[in-house]
Amino acid sequence: METKTETTPKTLDQVIEYCKFQRLNAEQVGSWVWVSFDEKPDESTLNCLKEYGFRYSPRRQKWAHNCGHPTRSAVNVNPWDKYEHAVISGKGA
């Protein structure tokens, strides 16, 4: 018998605390959290981001976490122009 593992969506507060604890260069944009790197991170860091629920956005060249608020892709809209945003951790925090 196969066991199905279910993952509980992370809240915004949980993702913010994770970013602070990991000392990631992160910012909150609306109800999402975005993480950026100056250089490509090592495999271990990438795997940790994926396991925590972050997804890479090639168009924005950042890692995004929807914090339980999935939405459609903003094709012609820059989320930084549309929503309030603030640095959570890393540079400028």
Q: ∠50-52-92 over CA atoms, to 5°? A: 95
Q: Where are the domains of the chain?
A: 12-89
Among 30, 38, 25, 26, residue whose Cα is nearest residue 77 = 30
Mean pLDDT, rounded, of the chain = 87
Nearest-angstrom CA–CA distance, 5 and 19: 24
CA 37 to CA 34: how far, in whole Å?
10
Residues 28-52 have pLDDT tens digits of 999 999 999 999 999 999 999 999 9
The pLDDT of residue 40: 92
User: pLDDT for 7-22, tens place per residue?
Assistant: 678 999 999 999 999 9
Predicted pLDDT at 7: 67
Report pTM. 0.83
Q: How confident is residue 3, by pLDDT bands cut at 50, 70 and 90?
A: very low
